[in-house]
Each structure stands twice: as structure tokens, then as C-alpha cells.
């Protein structure tokens, strides 16, 4: 199965400069900040920046959509925060209108199923 998020990530990571410009112009726009964080998440050295942007949005209750929560889950998982990743996946599922984003296994998104398996193994 082809991951539905893969084309989105490919598009976003190639637009980092543009997204940085847009966020400098509109720093209070959660949708632009979340898209920049998604783009940063593509690069291993920028995952911490992605997490900082998304954690700020989450703390302020400004996460714009399920994609933002899916990205937060991924960066938390990649940076070793398994409980935080599970929490973000749960929030993602609440916003996932198509009920597919937070349950499939795209290449760049740690699957919700793996988190459940990891929890069950404890």
C-alpha cells in the first residue's frame, strides 16, 4: 500500500525556505507553523525544532489538524518519548475525519499499531 502522507512530506520538505518566510511574516498562524514543523520533521537534525514548534502549539491548544498531531507523534517517537507519541496518536485520531491518517503505517509515521504492540509487551 502506498502511504498517503508520502507525497505531502516530499512537497513540504522541499519548501522549508518558503515556509520559514511565511512563518516570519505570520508567526501567529498555527497552520503555517504546523506545516513548517512537518517540513523540519523530515530532516533528522531538525526534529527537535519541529517538536518545539508543535509542542508550543499543543500546549496552547492551537494544533490545526490531524497532520500536526501525526507529525508530533512521529517526532516524539523519534526522540524517544514513547508515552508522548501515544498521546499524540490519540489526539490525532480525534481529528482524523477519514479515520485513516492515524492508523495506517506510512513510512515516515510510526504506526499506531506499533505503539499498541509496544504497550502490550510491557
- pLDDT in 10s for each residue of the chain, 122 residues: 223 444 555 566 678 888 999 999 999 999 999 999 999 988 889 999 999 999 999 999 999 999 999 999 989 988 989 899 889 989 998 998 777 778 544 444 544 445 444 545 44
C-alpha cell at position 62: 492551537
Residue 29 burial by CB count (10 A; 0-12/13-18/19+): exposed, middle or buried?
A: middle
Break the chain into its structural domains and give their ranges. Answer: 6-121
- Give the C-alpha distances (Å, rounded to integers) separating 55 from 30, 40, 108: 12, 14, 19
What pLDDT score does 9 carry? 56
64/71 Cα distance (integer angstroms):
12
Predicted TM-score (pTM) of this structure: 0.76
Dmax over CA atoms of the chain, in Å, equals: 47
What number does CATH give the domain 6-121? 1.25.40.10
Amino acid at each position: 500500500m502506498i502511504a498517503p502522507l508520502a507525497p505531502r512530506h516530499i512537497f513540504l520538505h522541499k519548501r522549508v525556505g518558503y515556509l520559514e518566510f511565511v512563518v516570519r511574516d505570520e508567526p501567529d498562524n498555527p497552520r503555517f507553523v504546523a506545516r513548517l514543523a512537518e517540513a523540519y520533521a523530515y530532516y533528522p537534525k531538525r526534529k527537535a525544532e519541529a517538536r518545539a514548534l508543535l509542542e508550543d502549539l499543543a500546549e496552547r491548544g492551537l494544533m490545526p489538524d490531524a497532520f500536526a498531531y501525526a507529525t508530533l507523534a512521529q517526532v516524539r517517537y523519534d526522540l524517544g518519548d514513547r508515552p508522548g507519541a501515544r498521546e499524540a496518536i490519540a489526539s490525532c485520531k480525534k481529528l482524523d475525519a477519514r479515520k485513516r491518517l492515524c492508523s495506517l503505517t506510512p513510512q515516515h509515521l510510526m504506526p499506531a499499531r506499533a505503539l499498541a504492540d509496544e504497550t502490550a509487551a510491557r
